[in-house]
A and B are shown apart, each in its own frame.
Chain A
Amino acid sequence: MAGDLLRFTTAGSVDDGKSTLIGRLLLDCRAILEDQLAAIERASQNRGDPYLDLALLTDGLRAEREQGITIDVAYRYFATPRRKFIIADTPGHIQYTRNMVTGASTADLAIILIDARNGVATQSKRHGFIASLLGIPHVTVAVNKMDLVDHRQAVFEAIVAEYRAFASKLAVPDLTFIPVSALHGDNVVEKSQRMPWYDGPTLLHHLEHIHIGAGRNLVDFRFPVQMAVRGHPDFRGYAGQIISGTIMPGEEVIVLPSGQTSRVREITTCGGALAEAAAGDSVILRLADELDISRGDMIARRHNLPLVADRLECTLCWMSEEPLRLGATYIVQHTTRQARGQITGLNYRIDVDTLHREPADTLRLNEIGRATLTMSQSLCCDPYALNRATGGFILIDPATNGTVAAGMIRRAAQNGGVAIQPPRPHSSDVAWEGAAITRARREARNGHAAAVLWFTGLSGSGKSTIARLLEQRLFALGAQTFRLDGDNVRHGLNGDLGFSPADRQENIRRVAEVAKLAFEHGAVVLCTFISPFRRDRDFARSLIPEERFVEIYVKCDVATCAARDPKGLYVRARRGEIPEFTGVSSPYEEPAAPEVIAETEAHSPEEIVEEILAWLHVRGILR
C-alpha cells in the first residue's frame, strides 16, 4: 500500500449515467461492501425502483433520498494496489456550479460524462469550462452508453472531434476520451470486447496510471505560516504546510510581506529533522535569525517571490443566495491570511453555457464573472494558473460568516502592486505645470512604481558602486532611472556649497527637491549621498510618499572605508587637509530604521543589488 493519491471529480447528471459509472467503479474495485449493497437494495425496494439505484450510495441525506436528487458534494473512497482515490461526486442539477467548483478545487482530474446518444450537450461544455477555470490538469471525457449506439466507432469519433474543437478554446493541458458502457462495465475496469476499434486504456487503468505530478508545483517555494510554535525556551519555529516548491536547511528565505531575510536552520518534524521538504509536507521551519513572524505571513525564496498586491484581477464564482454587492466589505481568506476587501469593479459576467461575456453589475448564485478586488492589506499570491494554492481565495460575508464566493487570481490589477496612498496635502505646489500627465499615468506606462532609493553611508562604504550596478540592472529591466551622485552635484548645482553642517543641510535639501521632481516624473531615483545627519535624511523622506522612499544604509566600518579609500580622502582628512570629514572629524548619525541595510563587508555588491531588487519586488515597486 505504498501507492499515492488521486483526487478526481465527476461531472454529469443522473441521466448521463454518472451514478452508475461511480457505482461500477466502486463495485468492481470492491469498495462497495455487502452491507452497503444490501442497504441500497432495501432502499431501492422501498422506493419501488425497478433497478438498483447506485445513487443511493452517495446521496446520504434524507432530503436527497426523498427527492431523488443530489444536493451536496459527496466524497467516496476506493483504492487499488496502485493508488488510493478520492471521488468528489458533484450533483448535476441543483446548485450545479457551486458544487462543481467546490469539488473541482481539490481535484487532479475531472471525469466528464457524455451520453453517446445525445452527443456534446451544453452541460458537457459547461463542465469543461469549469474544469479549466479551476485549473484541473487532466480532463477525461467518458462517452457513456456506447451500448445504446451499437458500440459504433463513428459516434465516438464524432463526439471526440466536436469536444476537442470546443476544448481548444479552454486551458485544458490533458484531454482524454474513453468510450464506455457503465451499465455493462465496458472499458470501466475491464476492457470491452465489443469495441475492438478502441485501443486506449480502460477508465480505471487511466486513473491508475495518470501522472499526478502535473498538478503539483515543485518550483515556487511558498510556505504560509499557520502559527508560531514555541516548544521550549530555545525553540521557536513556524508551522505550516508547504504549498509548493521544495526547501532545504541553509537556504536563504524571505518573510513576506515584511521583507526580512534569513536562512532555514532546521526543518522540524516529530519524526526528526528533514534534509529536504516538498510541496504537501506539514512541517515546522526554524530560521537562523529571530524575526517577528506570525500567522498569515509567507516564507518564500529570496529570488522567487510571489506577487504582493492589494488590488487583484480575479475570476469570481458566486456561491450565495445573497448577490454580490459592489463596494461592500467582505473578508478575504487566502492561504492563512484574512484581509478585508471590496469588489471595486465587475468587468463582465461569463455565461457558462455559451462562454459569452456580458456586462453585469452584480453576480448571483452560481454566476461567474471577472472582477477587481481591492483589499485593506496586500496578499502574497500567485496567478491561479501558476499556483492553485496561492491563487485561490474565498470571500466571507462578515454579517453571516458564510462563504459567499470562490476567487481565482489572474494578476495584480493595474497599479495593484503598489500600496495606494492618499494624496499628500500640498500647499504651494497645487499648480503643477503639465499636471494632466500624472505620475500614475507615467507609472502605468513605465510598468513600475516611482521611488526614491536613498543610499546613505560613509565615504568609501560602497554607495556609488552599488547604485551604479543597481541602475544597470534596473535599466536592463526596462525601468526609468535617474541618478543623483554626491560628487557630481557638487560640480554644478551645488558648487557654491561647502561642508559645514548648514551647507550639508542645503546640499541635501536641493538634491531632495530634485529627487522629488524626478520621482514625480515616474523614475526610480537613486541618490548616493553621505548624508550624515538624520534630520536631513528625514527631510528628504518627508517629500516623498511613504513606502516610496527607501532608505538604504550602506554599512561599513570606518576602518574598512579608510583602508579602501578610493579617492584618497581619508589619508588627506587624517592629515588635516579636509576639515569636517565624516567619520574622521565630523559625526555620522546611523539611520534608526532604514528600509534596507547593505553590509558591504559581508556581501558583494552583486549580492546586495539582488537583495535590493528582491525588496523592490516585494514592496511592489517593481513587478
Chain B
Amino acid sequence: MSDYTRTHLQQLEAEAIYVLREVAAQFERSVLLFSGGKDSILLVHLARRAFWPAASSFALLHIDTGHNFPETLSFRDHLAEQMGLQLLVRTVQDSIDRGRVAEERGPTASRNALQTVTLLDALVELRIDAAIGGARRDEEKARAKERFFSHRDRFGQWDPKNQRPELWNLYNGRKASGEHFRVFPLSNWTELDIWLYVQAREIELPSLYFAHRRDVFRRDGALLAVSPYLPLLPGEAAENRLIRFRTIGDMTCTGAVESSAATVAEVIAELVASRVTERGTRADDRRSETAMEDRKRQGYF
C-alpha cells in the first residue's frame, strides 16, 4: 500500500499553493508584494509551482524606500528576469517629492513608516484588489491574529477587532469596490520552516542571509550596517565583524546577527539553537509594544 503520510513541509506547501490559486481565481488584479526578503522570494517560487506549466500571473510590486541593501536590488532584478515576471517599483522618494509624505528627522529616522503611503498609493494607482504578502503569524503577536485573506477598507486600513472568521479552507474574498485584500499564504510557516523549505527546494537567496564580513556599529543593542543613510552618532564606532541578516528590510532598521553560518544547513543548525526571534533584530518593531499592530492598521505590509 502506498504511503499517504505527508510531512509538515509538504502540507505547508500544498496549503500555500491552494491559497495562491484562490487569489488567482477570486481576484482580478493581484500583485505579489516583493520585499527582497526570503519570505517574498519563497512566494515567487511557490507561485511558479502553483500554476506550472502556466506562468504565474502575479506581477511583483516592490516598494523601494531608497534605503535598501544594494544586494537586495540586484537580487530582485535577477529573480524577476529569471522567472520572467513583471517587476513594478514604486519609490518612497517619489512620494516625498510629490509631497505625499515628509521625511522623518533625527538619528533614528527611518523610511519604514513612510512606505505605507507609497504602498497604498501604488495599490490605488494600479487598481490592485489583492496584494499577496509573505507575512507569517509566528513573526509577531499582531500578525498572529491575521487571516489568510485579510480585508482592507477603502483607506487600506485593517480592523483587527472586526475580522471575518475564517473556517476550514474557505476564504471569503468578497469586497466592495475600492476595498482590497492582503493575502498571506505563508501564515502557518515559521522561520525554521522557511529555511527547511529553502533547503528542500534548493532556493537561491541573497548573500546577505549568509555569514559575511561587514562594517557594523552597535545602537540600542542592535548591530546595524554602516551606510550613508545612518550617520554614526558620537560614541558609536564602526567595526568589521562576521555577520549575517535574519530578516532583510531597510539598511536603517535591519539588525545583523554575529554568525558564521555560511550555508543553508549551517543557518538551520544555528536557528535550531537560537534563543532569540528573528524580529528581535528589527528596530522598527521595538518602537512600542504594539508597533506592528499600529502600522498594520494603517495599511502596512
Contacts and interface: CB of A to CB of B under 8 A. Distances in A.
A3 interface: yes
B22 A226 contact: yes
B18 interface: yes
Contacts of A102: 165-167
A282 B50 contact: yes
B49 A269 contact: yes
Contact of A280 (B14, B51, B290): B14
Contacts of B168: 105-106, 388-389, 392
Nearest to A294: B25
Contacts of B145: 60-61, 72-74
Interface string B154-172: 0000001101111111101
Contact of A226 (B25, B54, B289): B25
B161 A279 contact: no
B130 to A, nearest CB: 14
Given A3-B8, A84-B8, A229-B54, A57 B277 contact: no
B170 A392 contact: yes
B101 interface: no
Contacts of A282: 13-15, 17-18, 21, 50
* A interface SS class: mixed
Interface string A333-373: 11010000000000000000000000000000000000000
A476 interface: no
B82 interface: no
B165 A406 contact: yes
A178 B21 CA distance: 41
B144 to A, nearest CB: 5
A196 interface: no
Interface in A1-36: 1-5, 33-36
A74 B7 contact: no
Interface residues of A, number: 80
Contacts of B274: 33
B233 interface: no
B174 interface: yes
Interface string A93-128: 000001101100110000000000000000000000
Most buried by A among B13, B144, B165, B193: B165
Interface stretch (A75-83, A411-419, A428-436, A581-589): A75-83
A333 B172 contact: yes
Contacts of A218: 4
A609 interface: no
B290 A246 contact: no
Interface string A378-413: 000000000011001110101001110010000000
Would you list the 9 A-B pairs with minimal beta carbon distance, nearest first? A60-B141, A231-B53, A35-B280, A5-B8, A270-B52, A401-B174, A282-B17, A270-B49, A84-B8
Given A39-B289, A280-B6, 6 more contacts: A33-B275, A35-B280, A57-B141, A65-B289, A76-B138, A282-B18
